[in-house]
Amino acid sequence: MREGIAQAVRRADYAAPAYWIRSVELTFDLDPVRTIVASRMAVVRNAAGTGGPLRLHGEDLEPLRVLANGQSVSFRSEAGELVIDNPPEGDFTLEIRNTCAPEKNTQLSGLYTSGGGFFTQCEAEGFRRITYFLDRPDVMAVYTVTLRASKSRYPVLLSNGNLVEQGDLDNGRHFAKWHDPFPKPSYLFALVAADLVAREQHIRTRSGKDHLLQVWVRRGDLDKTEHAMNSLIASVVWDEARFRLPLDLDRFMIVAVGDFNMGAMENKGLNIFNTKYVLAHPATATDEDYAAIESVVGHEYFHNWTGNRITCRDWFQLSLKEGLTVFRDQEFSQDMSGSATARAVKRIADVHTLRELQFPEDAGSMAHPVRPDEYVEINNFYTATVYEKGAEVVRMMQTLVGRDGFAKGMSLYFERHDGQAVTCDDFAQAIADANPGSELARTLPQFKRWYAQAGTPRVTARGRYDAPTRTYTLALEQACAPSHGQADKQPYVIPVAMGLLSRDGQPMALRLEDEPPATATERVLVLEEARSFYTFVDVDSEPVPSLLRHFSAPVTLVDGLHDADLLVLLAHDPDAFNRWEAGQRLALQRLLTAIRNEAPLQLDAAFVGAMRDVLRHPTLDAAFKAQVLTPPSETYIAEQLESVDPQRIHAAREAMVLQLAQALHGDWEWAWEAHQVAGPYTSAPEPAGRRALANLALAMLCLDATARGDVLWQGRAYQRFKDAANMTDREGALWALLASHSEMADLALPRFHDMFRGDALVLDKWFALQASAPERDGRVFARVKALLKHPDFTLHNPNRARSLVRSLCGDNPAAFHRADAAGYVFWSERVIELDAFNPQLASRIARVMDRWAQLAEPYRSAAREAIARVAARTDLSNDVREVVTRALET
Ligand code: ZN
């Protein structure tokens, strides 16, 4: 497996399989050391194919015997394949017995053990680590699964579909037999055998059908399942209401597992979740955790249609299910949040994620299109581009056909393709065909460049007002930088939602020349050329353009707006997203000026006043205010620069935050007092927003206090930390102490650890908070190194590894990028250590170096050296090999 460099797989090489597997019966004799798997498959020749040898995937398996039509048949084991050179003519039954070793499975792909139970993870290519199979998504089979295991150790035996039989066996063992009526690809197979308990809920859906919903967790965690169950019920209701997509199963199960590489997995009827996205109690989970659980529960549930009923033909089409399902979960969360501002707050959070993760990816060494053309290791392509940019592509389709048109397109998609394994082209075609008169239908081939071209397009806007003719001409230009294997980019179809405001903030009616008089004050311009002009008529005064409202396309907008324009938008834009964006731009311009000129940042009265106006605004939501008052992140600032000095960025941003803390001191005091939440905890947007703003105020007050050597606010924060009635407030207070470098953080941290010793998810927070605290004098880095040796720390649990290593290397640039290169040494050591037992996790952490080439010296050379050191190892996994090889190619 680890010899030589693996071959790239290419999209252009797709060929249908020579054989299909129509049904499979699996029997598991579960044993942590040696599990025996018996498989009986109905194999059918692909009439369109040429026959030939039957090649089954298999990895880390021991074959025991192979029978075709009940007769033993000769087979060979090749690299990762079991080859039957002379299978019987016609359709036949293939029986295979093999073993695997769940306890030794440290990769957490295939069948593995966690907390004394058995769990599976099969996407993308984990099923081949359980038994020999055509482990590719276009081979769909009906599964019948029998599990046999010790009854006392594994009282609960679950698999996909419906329970058809269960009972006791000899020797203290028992069995359960499950049947899933829906044909599915192997990546959606799952089993669980463990000592678990369930929260159950019976529901009746619109059609009058009864369903059983279950959330399975370890004993002792039942009191943390209410929110996940409520989120699941809400998801079922939403998908029926918005897309007419009902629950198609009698039983729908969620199982939480403590060792999991990703967030969660949409196995048919048996979703397996990282505990992080299931367990919530006010005392242990923050508002953000509650929101994340709602969206991940929704996401996996929505996959039941977008991913499971219609699946991917091959893994290059991954965004077919992921981009679409992220879009669906984003819409779900927006619809759940209620008010228009709460929706905007969610949109801002999603755009924040896109810019923070996907824009750097699109500009870095692993840049790839939403539908990649090649990969070495598919696990490396579960990316922000496939997920988040993919969701933006679907969102643009909705913008081009309208909300109702999009729902119609979804219906046509299911009419055409239910039960099939299809491509991104099939999806786009269905949406366009359902909306023949739409801009999408008109531009479809060009629109699909969003799937094919990597990189973030840059849209440059220039406006010119002509007073005598009362016209305003807007010139929009687009360009996209070359990327890996794509030198020339063709123009995209870019929907630009926009409006014009008068200088006193009034929305203007939008009428283009040659159009009849208009009253609409917002419209979508569809940019198709490299450059286009739009002339608005009847414009009474020079307007301020508000472009790319709600972030209508995943582009970088360069509009040359000055402070005066941005201040108008910040105060008056009816689009809440652009209002926030104007505030970010005002902050960004000041930060970039200070960073580029190597000059100390000194905030001006206009900026401070504008921030005060937002903070004190009588009607704006608290959650929205908190977002406006938070300056752009260090990562986002870095993306605006050609050459990145992380220390200088950190210093500038810290200066901005401190000056906001000082200049608005009285306002922050007011904000803290005025946003306290009384009564029992709920995670609803309104109280959550108040907590967010109060916690931001507390952090600001502590920062100002420690700078002045005043202990009053530090003491208050410590008091809040001790008395807090929920985790959001407790963590907020601890963060205020940590972020202000207060000595009281050293009292609070051990106390926090004591309070939550037995709670793995809270301990993850404890590690993550310390690793992401603002760096000063290298103390954060030193602390993280010391924490590596903490008795609660282990690299073997992915959540714990991420809480320390990813938080430092990925989320804390100033602690990580050190002039002495110690951060890079730390990184290379952890990547190599992790790669020996969990390549997927190692590779994700390896990717924090994607943007090394953009660093200024001395960081750049030191980073390159560290990557080269990892690349020089001969025993790397394909996962890490692909990442470091591509990094060195930049
Ligand atoms: Zn997904």
pLDDT of residue 4: 52
C-alpha separations of 814 from 112, 119, 780, 849 in Å: 37, 38, 9, 14
Kind of pairing between the strands at 251-257 and 210-218? parallel
397, 440 contact by CB (below 8 A):
yes
Region 152-171: mean pLDDT is: 98
What is the pLDDT confidence band of residue 396, given thresholds at 50, 70 and 90? very high
User: pTM, whole model, 2 decimals?
Assistant: 0.98
CA of 835 to the centre of ligand 1 (A): 24
In DSSP notation, 301-369 reads HHTTTBTTTBEESSGGGHHHHHHHHHHHHHHHHHHHH-SHHHHHHHHHHHHHHIIIIIHHHHHSTT---
Tell me which DSSP letter residue 5 carries. Answer: P
Residue 635, pLDDT score: 98
CA of 737 to the centre of ligand 1 (A): 36
Q: Looking at this protein, which amino acid is placed at residue 828?
A: S
Q: What is the DSSP string of 613-626?
A: HHHT-SSS-HHHHH
CA dihedral 267, 269, 271, 272 (to 10 degrees): -80
Q: How far apart are CA 535 and CA 513, in angstroms?
A: 6
Q: Tell me the residue type at 388.
A: E
**Gap between the Cα atoms of 317 and 311, Å rounded:** 9
Cβ pair 268, 142 in contact under 8 A? no
Question: Is residue 678 pLDDT above 60, yes or no?
Answer: yes
Q: How far is the CA of 285 from the centre of ligand 1 (A)?
A: 23
CA of 149 to the centre of ligand 1 (A): 31
Across 377-387, average pLDDT? 98
* CA 806 to ligand 1 center in whole angstroms: 21
Q: How confident is the model at residue 213 (pLDDT cuts 50, 70, 90)?
A: very high
* Cβ–Cβ under 8 Å, residues 174 and 167: yes
Separation of CA 83 and ligand 1 centre (Å): 32
pLDDT confidence of residue 2: 44
Q: Of these residues, 95, 300, 331, 654, which one is catalytic? A: 300
CA 719 – ligand 1 centroid, Å? 41
Would the pLDDT of 1 be above 60? no
Please give the share of the chain, as a percent, with pLDDT higher than 70: 99
Q: Cα–Cα distance between 536 and 507 in angstroms, integer?
A: 14
Distance 281 CA to ligand 1 centre (A): 25
703 Cα–ligand 1 center, Å? 39
Angle in degrees, CA 730, 735, 738, rounded to 5? 130
Backbone angles phi, psi at 367, to 5 degrees: -55, 135
List, in sequence order, every residue forming a beta bridge with 758; answer none if it has no partner: none
- In 3D, which of 160, 246, 250, 165 has the Cα closest to residue 202? 250
| Pairing state between β 523-527 and 311-312 | unpaired
Q: What is the 572 CA–ligand 1 centroid distance (Å)? A: 37
Tell me how far the alpha carbon of residue 316 lies from the centroid of ligand 1, in angstroms: 14
Does a cis peptide bond (omega within 30 degrees of 0) precede residue 858?
yes
Q: Is 139 left (phi over 0), alpha (psi -120 to 50) or beta?
A: beta
Whether the pLDDT of residue 245 is over 50: the answer is yes
Is 388's pLDDT higher than 90?
yes
Cα–Cα distance, 168 to 175 (Å, whole number): 6
Distance between Cα 300 and ligand 1 center (Å): 6
Q: Is 743 exposed, middle or buried (0-12, 13-18, 19+ CB in 10 A)?
A: exposed
Contacts 24+ apart (CB under 8 A), 688-691: 688/287, 688/290, 688/291, 688/623, 688/728, 689/342, 689/345, 689/621, 689/622, 689/623, 689/624, 689/626, 690/622, 691/287, 691/728, 691/729, 691/732
List, for residues 641-662, the tens digit of each pLDDT value: 999 999 999 999 999 999 999 9
Contacts with 542 (C-beta within 8 Å, 6 or more apart), sequence order: 465, 467, 472, 503
Question: Is pLDDT above 70 for 541?
Answer: yes
User: 124: cis peptide before it, omega within 30°?
Assistant: yes
- pLDDT of the residue at 823: 98
- Cα gap 42→451, rounded to integer Å: 36
Between the CA of 189 and the centroid of ligand 1 the distance, in Å, is: 15
> Could you tell me the sign of the dihedral formed by the alpha carbons of 238, 240, 244, 250, in that order?
positive
Neighbours of 334 (CB within 10 A): 17
* Alpha helices, DSSP H, located in 758-877: 760-772, 779-787, 798-801, 807-811, 813-816, 822-835, 839-846, 859-871
Q: How far is CA 159 from CA 143, 170, 186, 522, in A?
A: 10, 22, 13, 50
Average per-residue pLDDT for the chain: 97
pLDDT in tens, 589-616: 999 999 999 999 999 999 999 999 999 9
Distance 318 CA to ligand 1 centre (A): 9
pLDDT confidence of 347, banded at 50, 70, 90? very high
Signed CA dihedral, 588, 593, 596, 602: sign only: negative
Q: How far is the CA of 406 from the centre of ligand 1 (A)?
A: 20
Q: What is the separation of C-alpha 326 from the centre of its chain, rounded to a whole number of angstroms?
A: 8
In angstroms, what is the span from residue 830 Cα to ligand 1's centroid? Answer: 28
Strand pairing report for 270-274 and 251-257: parallel
Q: Which of 485, 293, 271 is nearest to 372 (CA)?
A: 485
Q: Residue 37 C-alpha to ligand 1 middle, in angstroms?
A: 28
Task: Determine the distance separating the centroid of ligand 1 and the alpha carbon of 382, expressed in angstroms.
Answer: 9
Over the stretch 37-65, which tens digit does the pLDDT of each residue have? 999 999 999 999 888 999 999 999 999 99
Residue 682 pLDDT exceeds 90: yes
What spacing in Å lies between the alpha carbon of 220 and ligand 1's midpoint?
A: 28
Question: Distance of CA 389 to CAs 231, 341, 367, 427, 878, Å?
Answer: 25, 23, 12, 16, 25
pLDDT at 207: 85
- 445-492: pLDDT as tens digits: 999 999 999 999 999 999 999 999 999 999 999 999 999 889 999 999
Whole-number pLDDT of residue 832: 98
User: Would residue 300 show up in a list of annotated catalytic residues for this protein?
Assistant: yes
Over the stretch 795-826, which tens digit does the pLDDT of each residue have?
999 999 999 999 999 999 999 999 999 999 99
Is the pLDDT at 3 greater than 50, yes or no? Answer: no
* pLDDT recorded at residue 79: 87
